[in-house]
Amino acid sequence: MDKGLFITFEGIDGCGKSTQIKLLTAYLRDVGKPCLLVREPGGTGIGEKIRSILLDKENNEMSPAAELLLFEAARAQIVDEKIRPALEAGITVICDRFYDSTFAYQGVARSLGEDLVITLNDIATSGLAPDVTFLLDLSVEDAFARRKGRGEADDRMELLGSKFQEDVRNGYLKAASKFDRIKVIDASRSVDEIFGDIKAAIEERL
């Protein structure tokens, strides 16, 4: 049996990942491709517990290294428990954030080191890499306006402010210049225009 396609979505908070993932999941199901949709951090019983520690606004004493290792721990769990078994069963896996988030947020914006994060990503995934990654690139101002429109309270990471989000955006663009699997998508356009690009890239691979 062919292995399933592993697709990840990345970008700063509020760039439009969930919106595009919903459209792609519906499209793949329509064309008869079974798919599993998961999110990071979380997606497993253990991962959701780690997620609540990571995003809890009360945890403002968390050390940057603890933060990094908790994201990687949640990742190791979801790769073992959900992602690898699904791919091996021929199921397409769509992940809302994966290890490029750690590269951009912890490696670059938190300045913990790009090479260190690449090494830890490799340990957490036992070498499993996405087949294609869509980086929804948007200005920090536009993403902030979209988040306000969504009307949800900010979590611990979202409270870090616009300089941090700017560093994250630059971190993602740096990842895209290193790894060919990352497709940079101009996310300032309409939902339909963005989805048109994503659908075309996926159709090429099906």
Question: Residue 146's binding partner, choosing from ligand ADP, ligand TYD, none, with beta-carbon cut-off 5 to 8 A by kind?
Answer: ligand ADP
- Nearest residue (CB) to ligand ADP, 16 versus 42: 16
Q: In the complex, what is the shortest distance from the CB of residue 99 to ligand ADP, in angstroms, rounded to a whole number?
A: 17
Q: Is 13 in the site for ligand TYD (CB under 6 A)?
A: yes
In sequence order, what are the beta bridge partners of 96?
9, 39
Q: Is 40 in the site for ligand TYD (CB under 6 A)?
A: yes
Distances from the Cα of 107 to the Cα of 24, 88, 103, 137, angstroms? 29, 30, 5, 18
Total residues found in the chain within this entry: 206
What is the rounded distance in angstroms from the CA atom of residue 90 to the CA atom of residue 84? 10
What is the rounded distance in angstroms from the CA atom of residue 191 to the CA atom of residue 198? 11
Q: Is 167 in the site for ligand TYD (CB under 6 A)?
A: no
Q: In the complex, what is the shortest distance from the CB of residue 44 to ligand ADP, in angstroms, rounded to a whole number?
A: 20
Q: Alpha helices, DSSP H only, in 103-161? A: 114-125, 140-150
> Scanning residues 54 to 73, which ones bind ligand TYD (CB under 6 A)?
71
Structure token pair of residue 50 = 């780690």
Which residues form the interface with ligand ADP (CB under 6 A)? 11, 13-19, 146, 149-150, 190-191, 194
Residues in the site for ligand TYD, rule: CB under 6 A? 13, 17, 39-41, 71, 97, 101-102, 105-106, 155, 157-158
